[in-house]
Amino acid sequence: MPGPLAKPTGKTPEAEPGIDLRTLFKAVGFEPHSEGQWDYCENGTRFNVPCCGRRWGKSIATGHKATHKAFKPDSYNWIVGPTYKLGEKEFRIVYKDFEKLGLLKYCKKQYSVNQGNMRIQTPWNSVIEVVSAEKPDSLLGEGLSHAVMSEAAKHSRMIWEQYIEPALSDLRGSADFPSTPQGFNWYHGLYTMGQDHSMPDYKSWNFPTWTNAVRYPGGFKDIEIIRIRATVSKQYFDQEYGAQFTSFSGAIYDEWSDLLHVHPHTFVPSWGNYLVFDFGFANPFVALDIQVTPGEDVIVWREYYDRFKSTWDHGQILASRENPPGYHIDGMWGDPRGADEIATLSPILGFVASQDVPWKLGVEATKRLLKPDESTGTPKLRVDPRCTNLIRQMGQLHVKEQTSRQKMELNEQSGDGNIQHKVDDHAADALRYFVGPYFVLGAGHHLTDLYGDSYAGSESEDFLRLHSKSTVTIGDGFVL
């Protein structure tokens, strides 16, 4: 084997540009444990965001990738740790790789965690070193070829935006962001960008602990995973082992899971399709396309999300956008507080209904759709990964903090009872404006579906149709 992977001959080796990654991995004895780990290691996207559970092997995979980056001559590569100790995990892998390849003795090297001095400089003038976010001033002035944001979720947003990202811009450098999630901080936003197909420079993955088939051969049913799940809280397990963004206390849709509820969808012309709106100007204007299957599964498959346009402009954009073959709209609903916006949209798109459903009833109906079926494990509500804003909001929507007096007053009131924290919630609200009329008020059903033909045209049907804000329990708890 030619180049730097050959056995040393005593002569100072030179780099082999474009060295094959799989050949390198074989030479250092690294075999990724799954297709997912291979996909992450070989991916050529500029910014890579592997969101991993504990013991998945993120530091090992990222470290071997960093070794590969170091074979580019005249490159400058950083491992950015929240502390030197955390940054050492990936550096340790690189150091051992060079040792296994017999190249370390040709390199200038330092390896002292306590002194914060971890650096390798190759004979082909590439550098890989550990820097610490504890000393931000030391991060200035370097143009970078590649950066590893070790335990990225533990970094402050400032470190990436003010120091590392600008340093990568000159050379159009790349970056890896291996981490276990830590609430809904900037790392969650980065992960969401990686799920958005309109942002090709970013790619993200969700790698739960149990997808490490070497360490947990039984997968989710591995005996060790079962033991851990039985001894820790659901919230802790979902975040630390399921690699889910779940740390908000008081989550409204605590049933939500990106793994469970996010699935690609192709428009099916024979199914019902509905358009729902949440209106805004400085706040985003949202329109969701929602299909309902014959079995009444709800699939949100398209999202329109924009700001600083008039309602008329939004309507024109929606009316003229490209649609899949057989596209149709069977009904539209909007925020019942937006009478002016509804009046503007209706002549452009068709009749937009406004049916006011109490917040609590809409949320409860949505939560029922989110729960997986006991027999199939599949929820009734699913979202296409292109709907990035809705996905983010479903995971982070939470109740606002209340004083004891406010809680007491809420328990006593019979009104809307909206205790939602009104920040970044517009796509989730639009979804509720569909679920409420369709499932609570029964807009997706004719009363003959519930009562039989003899009910059609009766005074009772006419009364309920005119008084759609009323709610009546029918049969087995169905709320009309």
Q: Which domains does the chain have, with CATH numbers?
A: 3-211 (3.40.50.300), 272-440 (3.30.420.280), 445-480 (no CATH)
Distance CA 302, CA 299 (A): 9
Classify residue 358 as left (phi > 0), alpha (psi -120 to 50) or beta: beta
Question: What percent of the chain is modeled with pLDDT above 70?
Answer: 82
Residue 456 has pLDDT above 70, yes or no: no
Residue 407 has pLDDT above 60, yes or no: no
Residue 194 has pLDDT above 70, yes or no: yes
Q: Please state the pTM of the whole predicted model.
A: 0.60
Distance CA 229, CA 403 (A): 34
Residue 375 has pLDDT above 70, yes or no: yes
Average pLDDT of the chain is 85
Count of residues making up the chain: 480
Nearest-Å Rg of the Cα atoms of the chain is: 27
Confidence of residue 472 (pLDDT cuts 50, 70, 90): very low
- Is the separation of the CB atoms in 288 and 434 below 8 Å? yes
Distance CA 254, CA 98 (A): 46
Residue 231 has pLDDT above 90, yes or no: no
Other beta carbons less than 10 A from residue 379's beta carbon? 20
Distance CA 137, CA 144 (A): 16
Owner of token pair 């909206």 = 418
Owner of token pair 């002194």 = 115
Distance CA 288, CA 291 (A): 10
- Is the separation of the CB atoms in 203 and 43 below 8 Å? yes
Other beta carbons less than 10 A from residue 305's beta carbon? 18
Owner of token pair 């406004």 = 354
Q: pLDDT (tens digit, 9 = 90+) per residue, 419-449?
A: 676 678 999 999 999 999 999 887 654 433 4
Distance CA 193, CA 201 (A): 9
Tokens at residue 348, please?
């452009």
- Is the separation of the CB atoms in 178 and 148 below 8 Å? yes
- Count Cβ atoms within 10 A of the Cβ of residue 122 and give its class: 0-12 exposed, 13-18 middle, 19 or more buried: buried
Q: pLDDT (tens digit, 9 = 90+) per residue, 68-91?
A: 999 999 999 999 999 999 999 999
- Is the separation of the CB atoms in 45 and 113 below 8 Å? no
**Strongest mean pLDDT among 181-185, 194-198, 292-296, 472-476:** 292-296
One-letter-per-residue 3-state SS of the chain: CCHHHCCCCCCCCCCCCCCCHHHHHHHHCCCCCCHHHHHHHHCCCCEEEEEECCCCCHHHHHHHHHHHHCCCCCCEEEEEECCHHHHHHHHHHHHHHHHHCCCHHHCEEEEECCCCEEEEECCCCCEEEEEECCCHHHHCCCCCCEEEECCHHHCCHHHHHHHHHHHHHCCCCEEECCECCCCCCHHHHHHHHHCCCCCCCEEEEEECHHHCCCCCCCHHHCHHHHHHHHHCCHHHHHHHCCCCCCCCCCECCCCCCHHHHECCCCCCCCCEEEEEEECCCCCCEEEEEEEECCCCCEEEEEEEEECCCCHHHHHHHHHHCCCCCCCCCCEEEECCCCHHHHHHHHHHHCCCECCCCCHHHHHHHHHHHHCECCCCCCECEEECCCCHHHHHHHHHCEECCCCHHHHHHHHHCCCCCCCECCCCCHHHHHHHHHHHHHHHCCCCCCHHHHHCHHHCCCHHHHHHHHCCCCCCEECCCEEC
Distance CA 357, CA 416 (A): 8
What pLDDT is attached to residue 417? 56
Distance CA 339, CA 466 (A): 18
Owner of token pair 């494990």 = 377
Pairing of strands 285-292, 331-334: unpaired
What pLDDT is attached to residue 404? 42
